[in-house]
Chain A
Amino acid sequence: MSTTEIGGPSWRARLRALTPNTRRVLYAWAAAVAVIAIGSLFNPDFATWSSLRVMLVVASFIGFVAAGQMLVVLVGGIDLSIPWVLNGAAIVLTTTSLGQTGRTGLALALALGLGAVIGFANGMGVAWLGVPAVVMTLGMNGVMQGLTLGLSKGLTCASCASYAPKPLREVFVDKVFGVPAQLLLWAGVALLLTVLLTLTTFGRRVYAVGVSPRGAYLSGVSVRGVTVALYTLSGVFAAIAGIALVAYGGQPSLGLGDPYLFESIAAVVVGGVSILGGRGHYVGVVAGSLTLVAVVTFLQAQRVPEYGRSIIYGLVILAILLTYGREKSNA
């Protein structure tokens, strides 16, 4: 960020002295600030609190899925099953609660449990059976899609027209101290993940596995255990995103999760997490999610047609990757 330049020539040295992890978070926030700054040049209202609040709410959905995606990317994996785990969890939530307040707890438990079970299965396939992550999670996405469509009869089942339970919807519509409750949830997730990854033994092991699985194994880390745990968490986060989306919108739809596959990967990478594993923080991914939403919001505000948004979106991601997403040859 430009403010650090005041320190004279030492800021560059200070930047280099940081671990690559910390540096990447800085880059990610710099990118977010840059996009919002450019946006407010064109449209002064762009950076107001009300506009930012809307962007943050939209970004939070990406933030939830990206949380799970980041965890598996940190160990060099990828989760392609996010779209239909998300969609499945959303439909489980409404069809089991039938919109009744009394069933909220049960429905939440079932939706989250579904995410955990699928994530666990992914992790077992990758860590114990040695199936490549792309294949395992891609197959699982198909399985979930088929089950979701089949069991809900293409979302035409009797209970499929149900809404999310009222208390849940209120959480997502209400505001606490002027802040949408959903943002508080996101902040909670961010705090939780940051603590998990930086302050716990588990977090330290995650980075070690991500940088060098062999080295981690030789240091006594249970590489398989860590991997299974991360995929399970990814499933849970996909379910959380599904719950959040359906609580926000009231009713689930088919294909609800489809956009979130590529957006989760993009948010993770724009957030400074290395796709090769072992590097990155969730604080950066928050910035990455915000950047993606800010780009789209800005283009919508400028009345750029859909095709233009898509093109520019791709170009912006490429530009960001060229700035700090290159593969370093020396590990």
Chain B
Amino acid sequence: MTKGQAISLQKNDGGSLTAVRMGLGWQAAPRRGLFGSRTREIDLDASAVLFADKQPVDVVFFRHLVSDDGSVRHTGDNLVGGVGAGGDDEAILVDLARVPVHIDQIVFTVNSFTGQTFQEVQNAFCRLVDETNGQELARYTLAGGGQYTAQIMAKVHRAGSGWQMTAIGAPANGRTFQDLMPAILPVL
């Protein structure tokens, strides 16, 4: 999907989406030269910020793996990437039915904690998956993504009785989600 495109998370058969997963996978960029095996470790972090009326009320990231209400869960910090072998190295699971009623938007972000830009990261992607059937709803390729250390990926927001997803894909710079707050607010 392209930037700014919105897709409804209503299923084709009319049932609403109940669980989505944001997945993040990458491999470290190998060194050129003699010591090719000495790759630089790259630590990308996935975060989800929960907003109520444009105010952040909770966040799920490597220091706070489960939102207080339990609806958003992070599978745990991965410091080096590559273990998923094409799969997700970090994932955030959202149980949409259990999200507290005042939360109306959830923004997903990716940060490079170790400071490398996305240009140096290999095979990096982030994606949103319908957790109930494994179907991929959206996918971004981060690798070669320019001189940025962060990306505001997408948001899911309430629409009517269900949820909608909007792809954002806005590049930004910052080490953790806190640094991204000024960049997130305009996309709410």
Interaction A to B: no
A residues at B contact (CB < 8 Å): none
